Amino acid sequence: MIYNILKDKPTKLFMGITAFFCCNALIAEAIGTKIFSLEKLFGFEPSHFTLFGQKGISISLTCGVLLWPLEFVITDIVNEYFGPKAVRRISFTAIILISYAFLMYYAAIHVPPANFWVGSHSADNIPNMQDAFNGIFGQGMRIIIGSLVAFMVSQLVDVYIFHKIKKVTGDKRIWLRATGSTLVSQLVDSYIVLFIAFGGVFSWQQILAIGVVNYFYKASMAIILTPVIIIAEKKIENYVGHDLAVKMKKAAMGQEQDTFTNIPTAG
């Protein structure tokens, strides 16, 4: 029985996508403590523009946003072939794993450090390794909660918008429903995390300004990554076969009962 399931192509595809989805989310959260300058990345000096009355704003982003757009690409692929129930499953799985990772980070921070380790990198201008470790892995609780809530809500919004568009377009124009749903869900994601993490700390003008900058990047990436969705659709069809791919899409929309191995579908 297990052997037959593991030989089933849709099942193997779902397992592989889920593994990458969760891994990508964990890495994005882990590297999110570093802020980088998008302008400097492309060889330009920070622009320091004014937005909502906030002066000196530049395009500074967390390293985590480099990976988050891939999460929404994967969400749309899963939505297309496995349905909203599968998206909820992989989203909850990712949230559980991220929460577990944060608990382990917290535990690791509070484990007493060895004396020799604390000053072991002083020659590299790191006088206290414990402080450095805390700075990297010790995110604030509001940021953690904001990130997780924003992730879950934006995933649900993405699923809803995706299927609303698909009811109009049918199986055609996957680029439209993928990009359209991502543009809306990324807007939701950008502001939920900011209001939960920094509400009462930053002014609403600051939150709006930061949100616009973040959303500009995310929206740009959603458009840039649109060809990835189209390529992925073709690769999946080649992998599972055209007829099975069509059945998977119909099952994902709840239009027919799947006749292949019991993979997660709409419901």
**What are the C-alpha distances in Å from 170 to residues 53, 147, 235?**
44, 33, 20
The sign of the CA dihedral 79, 84, 85, 89 is positive
If phi > 0 it is left, if psi is from -120 to 50 it is alpha, else beta; for residue 220 that is alpha
Question: Is pTM, for the whole model, over 0.95?
Answer: no
| b (16+ CB within 10 A) / e for 210-228 | bbebbbebbbebbeebbeb
pLDDT the model gives residue 77: 93
- pLDDT at residue 234, as a whole number: 92
Percent share of the chain, pLDDT over 70: 93
**Which regions in the chain score pLDDT beneath 70?**
1-5, 140, 255-267
Report the interhelical angle of 84-110 vs 9-31 (nearest 10°): 40
Give me the pLDDT at residue 92, please.
94
CB–CB of 266/252 below 8 Å? yes
